[in-house]
Chain A
Amino acid sequence: MSSTNQLEFKGYAMTDPSAWSSLSVVPFEPKALGPEDVEVAVAYCGLCGSDVHMLNQSWGSTRQGPLIVGHEIVGRVTRVGEKVRDLKPGDRVGVGAAVGSCMQCRACNDNYENYCRQITFTINSQWPDGTPVQGGFSTGVRAHERFVFPIPDGVELRHAASMMCGGITVYAPLRENGCGPGKKVGVLGIGGLGHYAILFAKAMGAEVYAFTRGTAKAEDAKKMGADHVVDTTVDGFWKPYDMTLDIIISTVDHFPKNFSLRNLLSMLYVHGKFIVVGLPPADEPMPTLHAFDLTSNAGCFIGGSLLGSKDDMKHMLNLAAEKGVKPWIEELPMNRAKEALEGLKAGKPRYRYVLKQDIAPVD
């Protein structure tokens, strides 16, 4: 692609929240390209649970005006700001759920830019100057270079797409909490995030326990590499794993009424970590906990995690290239976004939808 062709910014937008999954192509004005910004022509965009939660208003009302979601973006650099050194037009890159941060605070300076209090998310937000950010169900995005990630040659673009949010969201806490040889990692919920957790935890050398409702996904989970598959509909399913696991990655975005977190926590060894990455609707708090659930249960922890840093991304993509980690995706053209959004809401994908940009296709 010639970098002198002006990228025409258009995308599939929600314009009416009462028809949340019906998207129509609209043109939009991106942010002005700053000296540290990178412009990317979108080739593919993965579909994340957050896109559904955002569009169907379950995380609160979205902002006014046409809303383009999508934050598992891969494509090719078309333009870079004058201060950008590490990326150039033509480079294969990805962008995830954030496009900018303050670059000055303690977190930004500590390689924790994903935890910056002034972070600019890719969906449903605005830049500091008020320009709405539009996401990756579009022909192009602009982001600060810290939030643009080179994709190694060993990873195909359509595979890299969903690593930009789904993958990194589970990779970062696995890395942070020492996932590796000798560790026992539980994965709760085998959907987009959960299946990545199995793939990455195995690639990192851990022993993996997959927890899923029923048996429908058991065979797939084994093929993904899970050493053990546990059916959570079985009474007392947690008992054989008492004080066994070092880390549990919880990807479920819904807890049934009267759910007992205590039973899940009982599977953790001393100071084990239950990391919640699944984000339920705003009106669904975590199940009730008593202090005893944390102290008696081996001094365990419940933690959160938000995306990952550029450093995490680099490690994750290198691991994916080195070990040949390939996600299980279902590819659709972007004009079938409605089908994909509703399918994801119903838990259908095996295991991640990736939409191919079809307004102005990019290889």
Chain B
Amino acid sequence: MSSQNLQFKGYALTDPSKWHDLKIIEFKPKTFEPEDVEIAITYCGVCGSDVHTLTQGWGESKLPLVVGHEIVGTVTRVGDKVTEFKPGDRVGVGAQRGSCLRCRQCKEDYENYCTNGIDTYNAEYPDGVVAQGGYSTAIRAHERFVFPIPDEIESRHAASMMCAGLTVYSPLRTHGAGPGKKVGIMGIGGLGHYAILWAKAMGAEVYAFTHDKSKMEDIKKMGADHVIDTTRKSFHKDLTHTLDILLSTRDVFGDSTPLGDYLSMLYVHGRFVTVGLPDADDPLPSIHAFDLAPNGCMMGGSKIGSKKECLEMLELARSKGIKPWIEELPMREVGKALQDLKNNNVRYRYVVKQDIV
């Protein structure tokens, strides 16, 4: 594909009062630089972040705005300093597209924690160009944020690994999920289902927590060793001081189970890690310092993952033949996907196929 013919068009938010009613716009792409990779998009996954951004739940967004950050496509063009890719390569881009590359974090393989990181959408480059996301025909991203997709992994499967997959892989890896470890996963949606698949593949014993009984059979098929119904009163009591890691994918807390109950399920120095990001007005349930003392546990967060982790994750998926549970739609129907996602009505990740060109 000649990059001269590459158009940059995407399904955009133009009116926040109709947050899932996206209209095709043409947009200005990132200014092409020597370390950039240009990609013609074939698939894009639909992420909770897309919903939170479009509904303005995370704050006022830019307008017009093309979201989507679980991108897979084909390289059309590379800058002269790019060493890893060439036109024709099959690649992915996730929730981040740039960083400063000079700070301590960037140098220590923590580029996802760069203070000057550039999100894939709803961000702005230093020269003022707005970062538009993957519900579109094409994207340009810095080479560091472009990931080669192994041949054995289909594009439609790789797409949602770019954000959902990586976002749970990173903390599982960081906190040592593996043989002998007991890993709890709270919330079995897009992220949660990936956490089960990865944690099992990494050799851990998996405890899946859900309030949705209709998911329980699927959850067992995904490989969970135990499935816990969180609507059952005092479900946490049977598991006091048991888990090494408890990964929370919940993006709604509201008036719910005290966090202390969840923390009590952790063994000594166990870690509760939240990757789910609620709306700005939905804080974590309150804790008392006393909730942290009885098991010396830790409560933390994790944001996306590094390229290093992404490549490891893709290798794990390739070598174990791991496939996510997806529902596919043409990109023009992304509005349905978004609404279903907001209503927790997806089994377990929507992926939309680019249909503009």
Chain A contact residues, CB within 8 Å of chain B:
106-107, 110, 112, 115, 117, 173, 176, 242-243, 269-271, 273, 276, 278-280, 282, 284-286, 288-306
Contact = CB atoms under 8 A, between A and B. Distances in A.
In this complex, the member of A243, A278, A286, A304 whose beta carbon has the largest number of chain B beta carbons within 10 angstroms is: A304
Given A243-B105, A286-B287, 16 more contacts: A107-B268, A117-B240, A243-B104, A276-B289, A278-B289, A280-B288, A282-B290, A286-B288, A291-B284, A295-B275, A297-B301, A299-B303, A301-B299, A303-B297, A304-B291, A306-B293
A115 B284 contact: no
B271 interface: yes
Nearest to B272: A301
Interface in B271-311: 271, 274-278, 280, 282-284, 286-303
Contacts of A301: 271, 298-300
B30 interface: no
A139 B71 CA distance: 72
Interface in B253-282: 267-269, 271, 274-278, 280, 282
A176 B269 contact: yes
Contact of A285 (B287, B293, B295, B300): B287
27 contacts: A115-B241, A115-B294, A117-B294, A278-B289, A280-B288, A284-B288, A285-B287, A286-B286, A286-B289, A288-B286, A289-B283, A289-B284, A290-B278, A290-B280, A291-B278, A292-B301, A293-B301, A294-B274, A294-B299, A297-B301, A299-B302, A299-B303, A301-B299, A303-B269, A303-B297, A304-B295, A306-B294
B214 to A, nearest CB: 26
Closest 4 A/B residue pairs (Cβ): A304-B292, A294-B301, A295-B301, A301-B300
A83 B286 CA distance: 46
Contact of A271 (B104, B174, B278, B292): B174
Interface of B: 104-105, 108, 110, 113, 115, 171, 174, 240-241, 267-269, 271, 274-278, 280, 282-284, 286-303
A184 to B, nearest CB: 12
A270 B117 CA distance: 14
A302 B292 contact: yes
Nearest to B300: A301
A112 B296 CA distance: 10
Contacts of A288: 283-284, 286
A284 B300 CA distance: 21
A31 to B, nearest CB: 23
Contact of A243 (B115, B274, B297, B302): B115
Contact of B300 (A112, A282, A294): A294
Contact of B268 (A110, A280, A284): A110
Contacts of A303: 269, 292, 296-299
A279 B293 contact: yes
In this complex, the member of A269, A271, A282 whose beta carbon has the largest number of chain B beta carbons within 10 angstroms is: A271
Nearest to A268: B300
A279 B269 CA distance: 18
A106 B241 contact: yes
Contacts of B283: 288-291
Contact of B296 (A270, A294, A304): A304
Contacts of B299: 294, 301-303
B105 A305 contact: no
B248 to A, nearest CB: 8
B142 to A, nearest CB: 20
Contacts of B284: 288-291
A205 to B, nearest CB: 20
B198 to A, nearest CB: 17
Nearest to B302: A299
A284 B303 CA distance: 29
B289 A291 contact: no
A288 B259 CA distance: 12
A279 B303 contact: no
Given A242-B115, A270-B108, A296-B303, A285 B294 contact: no
A16 to B, nearest CB: 26
A289 B174 CA distance: 23
A265 B290 CA distance: 19
A285 B292 contact: no
A106 B284 CA distance: 30
B288 A269 contact: no
A189 to B, nearest CB: 13
B104 A269 contact: yes
A73 to B, nearest CB: 21
Contacts of A107: 241, 267-268
B143 to A, nearest CB: 22
A246 to B, nearest CB: 12
B303 A295 contact: yes
Contacts of B267: 106-107
Contacts of B271: 301
A296 B297 CA distance: 20
A225 B223 CA distance: 53
B127 to A, nearest CB: 24
A150 to B, nearest CB: 24
Contacts of B282: 290
B301 A273 contact: no
B301 A300 contact: yes
A262 B142 CA distance: 30
A303 B240 CA distance: 17
A296 B303 CA distance: 7
A115 B293 CA distance: 9
A289 B285 CA distance: 8
Contacts of B293: 279, 304-306
B241 A295 contact: no
Contacts of B276: 291
B288 A282 contact: yes
A132 B42 CA distance: 71
A292 B277 contact: yes
A88 to B, nearest CB: 32
A63 B268 CA distance: 28
A212 B274 CA distance: 31
Nearest to B241: A117
In this complex, the member of A112, A276, A303 whose beta carbon has the largest number of chain B beta carbons within 10 angstroms is: A303
Contacts of B303: 295-296, 299
Contacts of B278: 290-291
A106 B266 CA distance: 13
B163 to A, nearest CB: 13
Nearest to B305: A299
Contacts of A115: 241, 268, 294-296
